[in-house]
Amino acid sequence: MIYKPHSYQVAATSKIVNSPYCGLFLDMGLGKTVSTLTAINELIYGDLSISKVLVIAPKRVAETTWTSECEKWDHLQHLRVSKVLGTEKQRKEALDKQADIYVINRENVVWLVSHYGGAFFPFDMVVIDELSSFKSPKAQRFKALRMVRPLIQRVVGLTGTPAPNGLIDLWSQIYLLDRGERLGKNITSYRKNYFSPGRTNGQIVFDYKLKENGENEIYKKIEDICISMKAEDYLELPERIDRIVSTPLPQSIMEQYKEFERKQVMSLFEGEKVITAVNKAAVIGKLLQFSNGAIYDENHDYYEIHNEKLDALEEIIDTANGQPVLVFYSFQHDYERITKKLKKYSPKKLRTESEVKEWNAGKIQVLLAHPASAGHGLNLQAGGNIIVWFGLNWSLELYQQANARLHRQGQNKNVIIHHLITPGTYDENVYQALQNKGDTQEQLLQALKEKYVNY
């Protein structure tokens, strides 16, 4: 296919080519991958300034997306990609191959740095696909990459959600770009300069609040190396229609829910089985399971309580009249119960590239996926336009990314997103949190995009 870049893709590619390090905070569907690959191609075969690129990506993206994008576009088909995946032996063999781009999943970053001993790192350019997965300065993957960062000439960070939980998440991501030049050499100085302690318990600080004008100061510090573009500024995507599908519980079961919320103890089957929770967080987790219709015990065996969401899901699929439906589930028992309930539709679980191809070819009517395994980079828009959230989780990033598997460039139908919500339960709290949690992130993206929106 001949590549005809949009103006925003030209801007993104130019930023990478002309900057030793940069963050591309591009909304889902704006073609981060092809823009980056175009820049890589220019740097390797045009400028001759680099020769070996490492791409760090979520596992499924590492398996499929970067290779398929090279195969898709005429100007990229000569790029050689080696997937550093699988067993240790397979990873070592992949590293020994002659290639332009080496793609590794983020879980193996620590292994990769250790493999080269830290003092030697053969990649002169690193692309971090989903930079926000390096938001924790305590994570081993961050520490490993930080150690070899001085050995890397160029770094590109790609994400659509740089601050899913607020600006406190930005420090480690920006550090991997500029080694602390803008936001400080360590997280302590970053917090001291821009935040004040929020909730505390003695010496323990649970969260931080932005200082007055701290937000604007952070934006100004990073605007020269980060660009932000929102899909609605550039793409005429079909409408996204969000629906709340209410799944009320029978009164007796709702009373059981409320009693467990109060007492943190629940008796099932006339006292034959007792479920307990040790703290408030555990209670909330089990109540979310309860809302979905089943609950785990301490041995990870699950017990079914009701079928309200299963019935609602089946009704949605029935009324879809054969149209493909993508279902996101939260717990393993959700998957097992959904599979049994929808047996007549032959549901498939998203596991490998094979399911991606079958879905996009229209061969799967019901595709089941956990948002953590399908949230980043996968192009599923060719296969359908209907999403059902059987149960929600607290991660705004996973929620946005999962929805963007269908609502993205290339989709030609309105995308309908059904949320199965049990009224009076924590389903409502999670849904509301997902609507509110994006405020800080939206302000960050808005501030950074101003100078590029008319590029």
For residue 439, what pLDDT is reported?
58
What's the rounded Cα separation, in Å, for the pair 76 and 46? Answer: 13
| Structure token digits, residue 364 | 């799967």
Question: What residues are paired with 197 via a beta bridge?
Answer: 208
Residue 1, domain member (yes or no)? no
- What are the tens digits of pLDDT across the range 7-20? 889 999 999 999 99
Q: Is residue 389 part of a domain?
A: yes
Instruction: Confirm whether 2 is domain-assigned.
Output: no
Is residue 400 a contact partner of residue 445, using CB atoms and an 8 Å limit?
Answer: no
Helix (H, G, I), strand (E, B) or coil at 360: helix
Same domain, 84 and 210: yes
Q: How high is the pLDDT of residue 454?
A: 46
Instruction: Give the residue-averaged pLDDT of 241-254.
Output: 91
**How far apart (Å, rounded) are the C-alpha atoms in residues 114 and 158?**
24
Confidence of residue 42 (pLDDT cuts 50, 70, 90): very high
Question: How many angstroms separate the CA atoms of 351 and 370, rounded?
Answer: 10
State pLDDT tens for residues 109-126: 999 999 998 789 999 999
Is residue 30 domain-shared with residue 119, that is, in the same domain? yes
| Range 249-255 average pLDDT | 92
Residues 6+ apart with CB under 8 A from 239: 414, 415
pLDDT at 448: 64
92-101, 199-208, 400-409: which has the minimum mean pLDDT? Answer: 199-208
Both 263 and 189 in a single domain?
Answer: no
Whole-model pTM: value is: 0.65
Q: Is 455 inside any structural domain? A: no
Task: Grade residue 237 by pLDDT with cuts at 50, 70 and 90.
Answer: confident
> Cα–Cα distance between 354 and 370 in angstroms, integer?
16
Q: Are residues 59 and 114 in the same domain?
A: yes
The predicted structure's pLDDT at residue 65: 83
Based on the fold, state whether residues 295 and 206 are members of the same structural domain.
no
pLDDT for 20 equals 96
Six token digits for residue 407: 């609502």
CA pair distance 22, 178, nearest whole angstrom: 8
Burial class (CB in 10 A: 0-12, 13-18, 19+), 165: middle
Does the pLDDT at position 443 exceed 50? yes
For residue 450, is pLDDT > 80? no
Q: What is the mean pLDDT of residues 91-117?
A: 96
State whether 315 and 375 are in the same domain.
Answer: yes
Same domain, yes or no: 83 and 208 = yes
Parent domain of 132: 7-234+443-449
**Domain check: are 15 and 143 in the same one?**
yes
pLDDT band, residue 236 (cuts 50/70/90): confident
So what's the pLDDT on residue 378? 80
Please name the residues in contact with 51: beta carbons below 8 A apart, sequence gap of 6 or more.
44, 100, 124
**Residue 41 above 50 pLDDT?**
yes
Give the range among 33-47, 125-139, 366-380, 416-430 with minimum mean pLDDT.
366-380
Residue 39 and residue 79 in one domain: yes
> Contact 256/293 with Cβ under 8 angstroms?
no
- What is the H or E stretch that residue 57 is in? strand 53-57
User: What pLDDT score does 130 carry?
Assistant: 87
Residue 313 pLDDT > 90: yes
| DSSP structural state of residue 356 | H
Confidence check: pLDDT of 447 > 90? no
Conformational region of residue 322, where left means phi above 0, alpha means psi within -120 to 50, and beta covers everything else: left
- Indicate whether 148 belongs to any domain: yes
219-234 residue pLDDT tens: 999 999 999 887 667 7
Give residue 136's pLDDT.
92
- The string of pLDDT tens digits covering residues 278-291 is 567 778 888 899 99
Average per-residue pLDDT in the chain?
A: 88
Q: Count Cβ neighbours within 10 Å for each residue of 333-371 and write b for 16 or more, e otherwise.
A: bbbebbbebbeebebbbbeeeebbeebbeeebbbbbbbb
For 255-284, how does the pLDDT look when each residue is reduced to its tens digit (9 = 90+)? 989 888 877 676 665 556 667 765 677 788
Q: How confident is the model at residue 444 (pLDDT cuts 50, 70, 90)?
A: low
220 and 296 housed in the same domain: no
Question: Could you tell me if residue 190 is inside a domain?
Answer: yes
* 393-413 pLDDT, tens digit each: 888 888 988 998 998 878 888
Give the pLDDT score at 28: 64
Q: Give the residue with greater pLDDT, 262 vs 140.
A: 140
* Position 426 pLDDT exceeds 50: yes
Give the least confident one: 51-55, 60-64, 182-186.
Answer: 60-64
Domain holding 109: CATH number? 3.40.50.10810
The residue-averaged pLDDT of 195-222 equals: 83
Greater confidence (409 vs 182) lies with: 182
In this structure, the answer to whether residues 310 and 428 fall within a common structural domain is: yes
In total, how many domains does the chain have?
2
More confident residue, 44 or 453: 44
The answer, yes or no, to whether residue 189 has pLDDT greater than 60, is yes
Rounded percentage of the chain residues whose pLDDT exceeds 70: 90
Q: Is residue 265 part of a domain?
A: yes
Higher pLDDT, 269 or 326: 326
Residues 35 and 155 in one domain: yes
Quick check: helix, strand or coil at residue 329? Answer: coil
Question: Domain of 337: which CATH number?
Answer: 3.40.50.300
Helix (H) or strand (E) segment spanning residue 419: strand 415-421
**Residue 315: inside a domain, yes or no?**
yes
Residue 1 has pLDDT above 60, yes or no: yes
Per the CB < 8 A criterion, the answer to whether 348 and 377 are in contact is: no
pLDDT of residue 455: 42
The 8 Å CB, 24+ separation contacts for 68-72 are: 68/379, 69/33, 69/34, 69/37, 70/37, 70/101, 72/1, 72/34
